[in-house]
Amino acid sequence: MHAEIVQFGTALLLNEAQTSLMVLPTTEFHEVLTDLHEQGLTVRLHSHENDTWHIADGGLYSGYVLSSRELIELRRAKKLNIQGIKELG
């Protein structure tokens, strides 16, 4: 049996053992992802285990890796943009 989680067109398939360990993103983090996408930034899951995301402003091999917590903090500080991300990255 598999569980499927879909977020902005990216599907992650998890087996039963993994679903009990998974923490679903909060509404606030969904807002972070929406803000980043609206700015034209590419957002990819970098590491599920470390809860990190790869944020790119063009190019496949360039970008910055930040945790969900760092991205939420940037949004709260009204610095959730490529400049704020560069400052942390």
The pTM score is: 0.69
Which residue(s) pair with 15 in the sheet?
2
User: Residue written as tokens 């790869």?
Assistant: 54
The predicted pLDDT at position 15 comes to 44
How high does pLDDT run on average in the chain?
78
Q: Please, are residues 55 and 46 in contact by the beta-carbon 8 Å criterion?
A: no
Whole-angstrom distance, CA of residue 62 vs CA of residue 42 = 11
Digit-coded pLDDT (tens) for 42-83? 999 999 899 999 999 887 678 999 999 999 999 999 999 999
Whole-angstrom distance, CA of residue 48 vs CA of residue 86 = 22
